Amino acid sequence: MQRYFSKKIENNRFTLTEEDTYHITKVMRMVKDDKIEVVYQENTYICKIVSLSPLVETEIVEEIKNNQELKTQVTIVQSLVKEQKMDYILQKTAELGVDKIIPYCASRSVIKISEKKDKKVERWKSILKEAAEQSKRIKIPEITNPINLSNLVKLSDYDIKFLCTVNESSQNLKKVLSNMVSGAKILFVIGPEGGFTPEEEKVMMENGFLSISLGNSVLRTETASTFIMSVVRYIDME
């Protein structure tokens, strides 16, 4: 059953967005009385379509309990990469349960965008929403405007902050995560295609980030984020 998110409820009815209305009527070719899943404030409902125009309206049939969110709250600071790779990262990490993504303007990022609100951010939000719906999540991962190094090192409110490196002396990801308390808030910083500069690594390490290894192989930046979320998900479900 197709899932959608709604921010509006009135008289036991959900109103969906213009984009979702288009998807339901033009792509899925649904009609009145067809049923869909609607998520509202992290609660999921089976709903019946009662109106298709001007926006789709649905009526609650029953509430269902199927929270599959990870107990571990993962934030990924993803260095900016080319559009296709960034889209892939957002899609796959959302499917695997990431809580928040913070784009980072790394020194070696080939893409440079403003730290102010950028139209790319709105597009990224759409990708995260679609991935959350497809993977049956009850929350859409948050994504922020891009930040620079000075703002990155100020990030707090995490139990631990990891800098992902290829340094052989770094701690092993699986071993560290296995010892984490359930429900921990963890931040991972992933570099761009060319990696971090020595200065970036130095500044982060001086500001409380711990160096962590993703294994013996040198992973592409888009592979690293997926690998991290896969390991977190595996341990979280044990």
Report the predicted TM-score, pTM, of the whole model to 2 decimal places. 0.90
Does the pLDDT of residue 177 top 90, yes or no? no
pLDDT of 208 reads 94
228 in the same domain as 201: yes
Tokens of 232: 């977190």
125 in the same domain as 29: no
Tokens of 125: 């939000």
113 in the same domain as 13: no
Average pLDDT, rounded, for the chain: 91
pLDDT of 81 reads 93
Question: Which CATH number fits the domain that encloses residue 16?
Answer: 2.40.240.20
101 in the same domain as 59: no
pLDDT of 237 reads 78
41 in the same domain as 151: no
* Strand partners of residue 143: 101
Domain extent, residue 117, equals: 73-236
Percent of the chain with pLDDT over 70: 96
178 in the same domain as 216: yes
Task: Give me the number of domains the chain comprises.
Answer: 2
111 in the same domain as 26: no
Count Cα atoms within 13 angstroms, Cβ side, for 140. 21
Last residue of a domain, one of 18, 44, 64: 64
pLDDT of 57 reads 97
φ/ψ (deg, to 5) at 183: 85, 10
Using CA atoms, how far residue 51 sits from 37, 86, 88, 128, 202, in Å, is 15, 36, 34, 26, 58
